Chains A and B, each alone.
Chain A
């Protein structure tokens, strides 16, 4: 894949309930902001547009069709959609640019989870014959995974609480869009009751409504816009078996593989933004990526501070890109996930131009 420049990124506030705000109204402000930062008007000014969303959040077939209304797609545009996190819409856009059919692309992801019960809704992404009829929700599956880690002595409850404590503090310091932020100690967190044992409520990401958007381009095109940009030097994603009993839940083999292919180890990782919806998964992921204390993990607070389902993966990449565009760091790693217990993982390496 070619080096691709991330030129702008915008994310909405993570809100527990966006109320009467519909999906188009969630998308439009972030698209406008991402485009305006580069001096573009609408989707007519980019060569390709790609989005990620999930029909089941909206409770309607073809939920993304409405999203097209937010784009200004008259005259018609080159456009595509993945029923995945928008990080994979970014991936599809990078293929399009690399093959030479586009020099720039607008990517967006959106999710309005508040109308339904997200953990229960997600039980319907499991094997429809053997698992989905049991309505195993996403929190319960994550709890099983946390139990494996605790029972094997790989992590402690203190480790999990420390992840949450740091997430809240980082969100308070750095992330105006966070839903959960503040100063809370490990002791305070551990004093709370278990929810779906061994998970406490704070070990689980909140449910949020919102959207994020990004503009990418070839490095040449990005230069011509004359604004700072970050470069995606490597990107890879890998799937694992859906048979949870056949996987070692204590590690993320697909993240390890994607990290190797994306070249994570080819340089220092100053910042990593990891899509870890549960506290213990941040530990699994940072190990899979080979990160140590020299890397600042989830300075935004990560998705424990606010989880825009279907946009959170794109936001992780956007957060790292923003650090690079601001000149704070020169190299960082972003991660996105999909499926129960980290079944599908994407890793991107971003660097300063």
Chain B
């Protein structure tokens, strides 16, 4: 396998509605920012790999066809990835494979969602001829799984509230975020309406417009830009069916297998110690303790203790800060949300995460999941090539 590094990162401002740009304008903005960050122009890019969540969200079928011009693709290869909510992560991994295979030297990858031009709840609840009609959306789908986590682990009821506050305080350090809540309190979260027990309004992610892009280059081009390269030390994807006899939906096997694979590639056997921070897909507060266990930061049933002790909090000086950017709880342009995790992990490693920087971060995990918590994409990035 060829070495590959992130040499450019570009994000848009995340907002409830980016009425100032079209979909093409939105992806162009992220891509242009990534090119500027890498000190490159469109002609320096050999291929473009684009991803987003279901086409039904914006109502544009195979939008790479329409977005070809906005991303400078005339005459270039362009690939469209769609792996449900994990797509932001898997798009980055497919882009990396273009370079790691040696087939390309430098590629651009872009993901987006423009939720203000869409209706995700409608798209997710379309009645189907062969299945019972589920008019639930994501929150309703995941709520029973979170309740089962609480039952199994005996976690205190305010664990979710703590995550919601922690990520919003992190997020207030990141000017790109959709939600800016520097004064949020435990009481405010607790008083917000209960949407899908145990998830209150403020324990849920927002609906955002936004796009995220990265430039990925091979070893020979990695040091060409103004920024230090961020080396991809491991990447993995796993899938399992939505339902099968004996499936553990609280601590899914696919997540455990995926992270074991990515840790093995990166030489990590003690993630809490060897990783400096993690950007993990937490769209509902309770998924932080659940993923702490699934990703091997805590024993099964113990994840909530790390959250409650402040181990994942930058503000409390935790040893393994999670979602310093504010995470999905502060900005959720669905198709891009996974790539934002991957890109924010890379920003930490190259030390330019601004107010939400973890001092001296050298190795970080980026994580995304999707579907019925059945699709996983993860990478570990580092200052060191090997």
Contacts and interface: CB of A to CB of B under 8 A. Distances in A.
Given A95-B98, A115-B129, A74 B68 contact: no
B79 A82 contact: yes
B65 interface: yes
A96 B254 CA distance: 19
Interface in A67-102: 68-69, 71, 73-84, 88, 91-92, 94-96, 98-101
A76 B65 contact: no
A122 interface: yes
Interface in A270-311: none
B22 interface: yes
A98 B242 contact: no
B240 A75 contact: yes
A340 interface: yes
Contact of A74 (B22, B55, B102, B244): B244
B80 A243 contact: no
B246 to A, nearest CB: 8
A83 B55 contact: yes
B96 to A, nearest CB: 9
Contacts, number: 190
Contacts of B124: 61-62
A83 B80 contact: yes
Nearest to A57: B61
Contacts of B98: 95
A70 to B, nearest CB: 9
A128 B60 contact: yes
Nearest to B236: A78
A82 B80 contact: yes
Nearest to B117: A128
B61 A124 contact: yes
Contacts of B94: 80, 92, 95
A155 to B, nearest CB: 25
Chain A interface size band reads 35 or more
A99 B81 contact: no
A99 B57 contact: no
Interface string B89-129: 01000100110111100000000000001000001101011
Interface string B47-74: 0000001111111111111111100011
A344 interface: yes
B238 interface: yes
A55 B74 contact: no
Contact of B75 (A61, A126, A239): A239
Q: Which residue, B67, B117, B130, B241, has most C-beta atoms of chain A within 10 A?
A: B241
B79 A79 contact: no
B2 A99 contact: yes
A127 interface: yes
A122 B83 contact: no
B72 to A, nearest CB: 10
B126 to A, nearest CB: 5
B82 A64 contact: yes
Q: Which residue, A84, A95, A254, has most C-beta atoms of chain B within 10 A?
A: A95
B90 to A, nearest CB: 6
B74 A240 contact: yes
A121 B257 CA distance: 39
B65 A125 contact: yes
Contacts of A92: 79, 81, 94, 97
Contact of A128 (B56, B58, B129): B58
B380 to A, nearest CB: 15
Contacts of B240: 68, 73-77
A94 B374 CA distance: 24
A191 interface: no
Contact of A98 (B59, B60, B102, B237): B102
Given A65-B242, A99-B1, A128 B97 contact: no
B101 A80 contact: no
Contact of B238 (A77, A83, A129, A257): A77
A27 to B, nearest CB: 13
B289 to A, nearest CB: 22
B78 interface: yes
Contact of A239 (B22, B58, B77, B258): B77
A91 B79 contact: yes
10 contacts: A59-B126, A62-B84, A65-B84, A65-B371, A96-B97, A99-B101, A125-B65, A126-B65, A128-B60, A239-B78
